[in-house]
Amino acid sequence: MTDTPFNPDDALDPLASLPGELAALKEAGLYRQRRNLQTPCGPLAQRDDLPGPLLAFCSNDYLGLANEPALAEAAIEGTRRWGVGSGASQLVSGHYQVNADMEARLAAFVGMEAALEFSTGFMANIGVMPALLGRGDAIFADKLNHASLVDGALLSRAELIRYPHNDVAALAARLEASRAPRKLIVTDGVFSMDGDLAPLPELLALAETHKAWLLVDDAHGFGVIGPQGRGSLAHFGLSSPRILYMGTLGKAAGVGGAFVAGRRDVIEWLVNKTRSYIFTTGAPPLLAHAVLKAVELIEQGDARRAHLTALIGHLKAGLAGLTRWKLLPSDTPIQPLVIGDNHETLAVSRALEAEGLWVPAIRPPTVPKGSARLRIVLSAAHSLAQVDQLIAALVRLEARP
Ligand SMILES: *Cc1c(COP(=O)(O)O)cnc(C)c1O
């Protein structure tokens, strides 16, 4: 058998094919486009494509801290004290005291021995699993987990075994069938597109039985749920050396960055083995200074959380009478209104926009087929009257023939 020599003319030139592929994305309604904003994060968003501001229900700024003056002031103070850049990886040019203080504060706040800061939650998630597991090991993942958890699992080269959303029995069966030497269960604490909670007590019990790690991604729980906003572990009153807790600092905390918390030796291991920590320039120390203030605001933020809870109840009551569209059962600020059909969901999102309301349409493959939805996100920065405005518009649009 002779090998046919490769003819360079047969090579696909991506420069030639890309325009067609972009056009196909647009055709399929899957093209993503950024909107330029003229205003800081908050309920009123001025976009450069529209004359007036939109009332926005799309950011994850759950406590309204992203544009909180005290937090902005802390960032300025942090800049005066620490400058802007960090210079290098913190393993190379030093770990700023303010970053060390922030890690200790975050660890204590979520009830763990130690914590490690990351520049973003995505980087934490793609780093931690490869540091803990490798080829031959197994990762058990909820099907609705965040994309960064999927990528982290793939990077680890461990076998990725997915289980149906929050299905503890299915997970138990998969764990029992596995002969992998090292196992890790990974789940969102609060699911980003559904707003529901993971059954963490049951997942921890399975982790104990099967000597597995339990990695909880609490991007949407930290600052929002649990006593004083301490997150989903505190909400359930859980603590275990098997748990690794990932919290992000760009959502409820209003700043940016993330941290992983756990037992001291686990964090020590992560410092030594996590490529997305070792081979990246440290986040600006001014952010750590701001995060210390954010944790204080979260800790003292019962009034913000009470207002948010009132808004959630108000929205649910206001939309309870809808007949074709249904809110998913969620008690968190993520209130998905399932419309079902992709085109109808997009049309409703556009109709809302025409009325000055910004609620993004989420379609497959981000969510399962047939469950296209409006992802309504509430923030303590919203007023009751603003939520009323959204309710009125949705009730009117649903009744429209
Ligand atoms: C937003 C999010 C992340 C990523 O965090 P960033 O800090 O935004 O990179 C990870 N997991 C979940 C569940 C998220 O919603």
From 149, 217, 260, mutation site for ligand 1 pocket: most ligand atoms within 8 A of C-beta? 217
Distance CA 212, CA 135 (A): 16
Domains and CATH numbers, the chain: 35-63+302-398 (3.90.1150.10), 69-299 (3.40.640.10)
- pLDDT on residue 164: 97
Q: Residue 295 in contact with residue 155, Cβ under 8 Å?
A: no
Q: Which atom of ligand 1 is nearest to the CA of 145?
A: 13
Q: What is the C-alpha to C-alpha distance for residues 200 and 240, in angstroms, rounded to an integer?
A: 12
- pTM of the model as a whole: 0.96
Residue in 16, 98, 54 with CA at minimum distance from that of residue 293: 98
The candidate with the shortest Cα–Cα distance to 139, out of 220, 192, 217, 234, is: 217
Q: How far is the CA of 349 from the centre of ligand 1 (A)?
A: 23
Strands 361-362 and 372-377: antiparallel
- pLDDT more than 90, % of the chain: 91
- 255-276 mean pLDDT: 98
Determine the Cα–Cα distance for residues 225 and 234; give it in Å rounded to an integer.
Answer: 8
The pair of structure tokens assigned to 35 is 């909107």
**Number of Cα atoms under 13 Å in the Cβ half of residue 372:** 19
Render pLDDT for 11-52 as a digit per residue (tens, 0 to 9).
Answer: 888 899 999 999 998 888 778 889 999 999 999 999 999 999
Give, for ligand 1, the residue of 148, 186, 246, 332 to mutate: max count of ligand atoms closer than 8 Å to Cβ: 148
Instruction: Assign 339 to helix, strand or coil.
Output: strand
Closest of 170, 272, 258, 177 to residue 215, by C-alpha: 258
Mutate which of 186, 248, 375 for ligand 1 pocket (most atoms within 8 A of beta carbon):
248
- For ligand 1, atom 14, name the residue with the nearest CA: 219
User: Closest Cα to residue 152, out of 182, 194, 186, 119?
Assistant: 186
Atom of ligand 1 nearest to the CA of 122: 9
With a 6 Å cutoff on the Cβ, whether 125 touches ligand 1 is yes
What is the token pair recorded at 151? 């990528």
The tens digit of pLDDT for each residue in 334-374 reads 999 999 998 899 999 999 999 999 999 999 888 888 999 99
C-alpha distances in Å from residue 259, one per residue of 127, 139, 277 = 12, 21, 11
Average pLDDT over residues 71-100: 97
Quote the ligand 1 centre to 396 CA distance (angstroms): 34
Pairwise CA distance, residues 62 & 251, whole Å:
7
Q: How confident is the model at residue 2 (pLDDT cuts 50, 70, 90)?
A: low
Helix count and strand count (H, E) for the chain: 15, 14
How far apart are the CA of 223 and the centre of ligand 1, in A? 14
Mean pLDDT of 230-259: 98
CA distance 198 to 333: 15
Catalytic residues, by residue number, are 192, 220, 251
Q: Tell me how far apart the alpha carbons of residues 16 and 272 are, in angstroms, rounded to a whole number.
A: 44
Neighbours of 119 (CB within 10 A): 20
Neighbour tally for 144: CB within 10 Å: 19
* Angstrom distances, CA of residue 375 to CA of 51, 300, 361, 369: 24, 28, 7, 15
Query: Are 178 and 133 within 8 A, CB to CB?
Result: no
pLDDT-derived band at 401 (thresholds 50, 70, 90) equals low
Q: Which two tokens stand for residue 291?
A: 């995060």
CA distances from 160 to 92, 149, 241, 370 (A): 33, 11, 23, 25
217 lines ligand 1 (CB under 6 A): yes
For residue 106, pLDDT over 80 is answered with yes
Residue 1 has pLDDT above 60, yes or no: no
**Is the CB of 305 within 6 Å of ligand 1?**
no
